[in-house]
Structure 1
Amino acid sequence: MRIDLAGWTREATLGDHQAFLSLFERADRLGFDGVWFAEFHFRERLPYPSTLLLAAALFARTERLRIGTSVLVLPLHHPLALAEQLAQLDFQSAGRLDIGIGRGTDPETFAVLGIDHGTARERFEAAFGVLRAALSQGKASAADGPWRFSDVPVGPPPVQQPHPPLYVAGSTAETLRFAVAQDLPLLLSLEPPEARQLAIYRDELARAGRTGALAGSSLSRYVCIGATRAEAVARVDDLLPRLHRRRLAFAAARGIAPSGVPALDREAVLRDQVIHGDPEACHAAIIRLREATGIGALRCVFNGNGVLDNTAALAGMELFAAEVLPALRRAEAARPATVC
């Protein structure tokens, strides 16, 4: 099972640039498979609006770590220019780039760029068609003339799969239906957890008579690991109030009073959003999660999506890498080969 990192977004990216890069150099040496970064534009203080520039810096300082975008907001980009940049970055990294895409949900970013947010889905699907063709078979180029919404390729995806790999993020029935139609693996959300997304996705698979791409899809969990169960419980007890305070802050920014924000349901959060316990318990939980969902990749959030500092996150990463990763690798090696 692929084990990646996530959670370094928004305020979690603040601080010294070299220390930030060093954190992922350490993750590379620890044996994590990849890390995912989000695209946010026109936010005060945030230092990395371009995930591709950040990825380029990290590729130059790591040897095996994959880097993914979660997500590139396709309607904000010209797909031919984006395809060219992605192809270059994939070449520079010797094939270590993963591309997560989405249509974008922040109307303010669209407004700054003079793009009608109401066209987001149309622009997303059109841009995807051009991007996929350019990356997979080189059929789209500037010589073909300007791309248009009417340029969306019809029919099934090409036999030759895109390189680098493409993933799609989204929770609506329309986006999940699009993922089924295009045979795209999913980047499933952490908040809210993925149960609703998977239910819709499986319904769409059944309706289309398709097998889907769940084995290549990725889901996410907070990770609270301790050398003992008591240490892990203490980490959970530290994390959950911080998550609630962040929910209150986000709600206040939208004009919602604290009384309008329900308290976190501890049992539900631990069940649906957190891997927690000593190393043995964390390993067992990941195996159960894989068996229950059929998903082949996990994005581990050791920093609470920024509510914990990097020192605490790194301590969890190091314990996980020393105790859980080797057990997962052994379990993976012992699994019987499957015929696709």
Structure 2
Amino acid sequence: MMRIDLAGWTREATQGDPRAFFALFDEADRLGFDGVWFSEFRLPTADWPYPSPLLLAAALLARTERLRVGTSVLVLPLHQPLLLADEVAQLAFQSGGRIDIGVGRGTEPATLAALNIDAAETRARFERHCIVLQAQAAHVPLYVAGSTPETLGFAIERDLPLLLSLEPPETTQLGHVADILQGRPSTLLRRSSLARYVCIGADAASVQSQLDGLWAQLQARRAFFAAKRGVPPEQVPRIEPERMLHEQFIHGDPAQCHAQILALRARSGIDALRCVFNANGLLDNTQALAGMTLFANEVLPALREPA
């Protein structure tokens, strides 16, 4: 049975009335999704209202019955690991064990500078803090997000499942994992989690209409983040819709979405999927909830059947 979670509520997608925001996940709980994941953006320069995913998790866990809440990710170099382990253990206890902790190294220069953290030290701090967290909160599911052979090798050495990325797609990461494992048997990928944009509709026309409205917005977002790295607009690669649909999307009517998820599972060996129904904030919550509802009614029941 596959685990089907939600993701995509990050940065500007978290803005708005908190009551309406929380109600969205009350409905996700009712619809039968397994969990939802939130990111950590400390000392944000924009109006992003939830810099602490643990505080957000505490609020949601207190009002839902079965939905798990995960962090994707806690930026470990920013934290004192023993205190963080205390907070994680408390959340696990008061929620009946419904917390998942994804961790990463983080490289946001402004945050590191504000906290007087040397960027050259973040890898060592990440690994040291992760070892402490794994030991002190051993009963809490712990995941590692990373794209480099060093981070992936560390996760494999510690037998920690992975949170594989949506952008860029996970192909390179899986290649690194294969190189590191060199054919050795491992359950790590089966316990890991993939992410995909999900664009679902009752028929082909409604799906195509949704997709047609996304490409320009996704290109603009790609250019925005490239500019933050100093890349001029003319050097930003253009989106290739067919390739992106293959590598980053689940799309189509319910039957097509179900078939694509099963194929992805067979191809990757991964049993957990983080579904992004809001295109990481490019679609509003009303549109996202419509997709979530159709998916929950028509696709989730089939995915709950034993493999």
Q: TM-score, normalised by structure 2?
A: 0.97
**1:79: which partner in 2?**
81
Give 1:249 shift: 2.4
Q: Does residue 267 in structure 1 map to residue 269 in structure 2?
A: no
Shift of 1:254: 4.0
Could you tell me how far 1:173 is from its partner in structure 2?
Answer: 0.3
Residue 37 (structure 1) shift: 0.2
- What is the CA deviation profile of residues 140-180 of structure 1, one whole-angstrom value per residue up to 9, with x for unaligned ones? xxxxxxxxxxxxxxxxxxxxxxx110000000000011111
Q: How far 1:252 moved relative to its partner?
A: 3.5
Paired letter, 1:96: R
Over 3 Å counting, the alpha-carbon distance change for 1:120 and 1:210 in structure 2 is farther
Superposed, 1:128-277 pairs within 5 Å as 128-136=130-138, 163-206=139-182, 209-277=184-252
**Alignment: residue pair count:** 305
Deviations 1:59-80 (A, max 9, x none): 1110000000000011110110
Q: Distance in 2 between matches of 1:35 and 1:81?
A: 24
Residue 292 (structure 2) aligns with: 317
CA contact (8 A) 1:180 1:212 kept: no
- Cα distance between partner residues in 1 of 2:220 and 2:172: 25
Summarize deviations over 1:33-88 as a string: whole Å, max 9, x none: 00000000111311001000000000111000000000001111011000000000
Structure 2 CA distance for aligned equivalents of residues 200 and 325 of structure 1: 31
Q: CA deviation at 1:253?
A: 3.8
Compute the displacement of 1:122 (Å): 0.5
Aligned-partner Cα distance in 1 for 2:77–2:157:
19
d(CA) in 2 for partners of 1:118, 1:210: 34
Coordinate RMSD, CA, aligned: 1.1
Once the 2 structures are TM-superposed, how far is the Cα of residue 257 of structure 1 from its aligned partner?
A: 2.9
Distance in structure 2 (CA, Å) of the matches to 1:293 and 1:249 = 31
> What are the residue-to-residue correspondences of 1:115-126 with 2, within 5 Å?
115-126=117-128
**Paired position in structure 1 for 2:53:** 51
Using the TM superposition, give the Cα deviation of residue 200 of structure 1 relative to its aligned residue in structure 2, in angstroms.
Answer: 0.5
Query: Residue type of the partner of 2:148?
Result: T
Shift of 1:248: 2.2
1:324, 1:167 → 2: CA distance?
A: 26
| Residues 98, 164 of structure 1: 8 Å contact kept | yes
1:24 paired residue number: 25
Is the deviation greater in 13-22 or in 227-236? 227-236
Residues in 2 aligned to 1:135 and 1:251: alpha-carbon distance in whole angstroms: 37
For 1:100 and 1:314, how far apart are their aligned partners in 2? 25
* Alpha-carbon offset, residue 124 of structure 1: 0.8
Unaligned runs of 5+ in 1: 137-162, 336-340
- 1:224 partner letter: C
1:103 counterpart = 2:105:
yes
Shift of 1:210: 4.7
8 Å contact kept, 1:302–1:317 = yes
Deviation of residue 259 (structure 1)?
A: 1.3
Rounded Cα–Cα distance in structure 2 between residues aligned with 1:169 and 1:294: 17
CA distance in 2 between counterparts of 1:263 and 1:133 reads 44
Q: State the alpha-carbon separation in 2 of the partners of residues 210 and 228 from structure 1.
A: 41
Match of 1:91 in 2: 93
The one-letter code of the counterpart of 1:26 is E
Flag the structure with larger Rg: 1
User: What CA distance in whole angstroms lies between the structure 2 residues aligned with 1:69 and 1:181?
Assistant: 21
How far did 1:276 drift?
0.4
Q: Which amino acid aligns with 1:242?
A: Q
Partner of 1:15: 16
Looking at structure 1, the residues matched to 67 and 43 of structure 2 have their Cα atoms a distance apart, in angstroms, of 28
Question: Mean alpha-carbon deviation: is it higher for 95-104 or for 259-268?
Answer: 259-268
Deviations along 1:105-128, whole A, 9 cap, x unmatched? 212211110111100010111111
Would the aligned equivalents of 1:205 and 1:212 in 2 still touch at CA under 8 Å? no
Instruction: Determine the C-alpha separation between the residues in 1 that align with 2:186 and 2:274.
Output: 23
- Which consecutive residues of structure 2, in runs of 5 or more, have no partner in the other structure? none
Give the % identical residues.
63
SS in 1 for 2:12: helix
- Considering Cα pairs closer than 8 Å and 6+ residues apart, tell me whether 1 or 2 has the greater RCO: 2
Q: Name the SS for the 2:4 alignment partner.
A: strand
Partner AA of 1:318 in structure 2: T
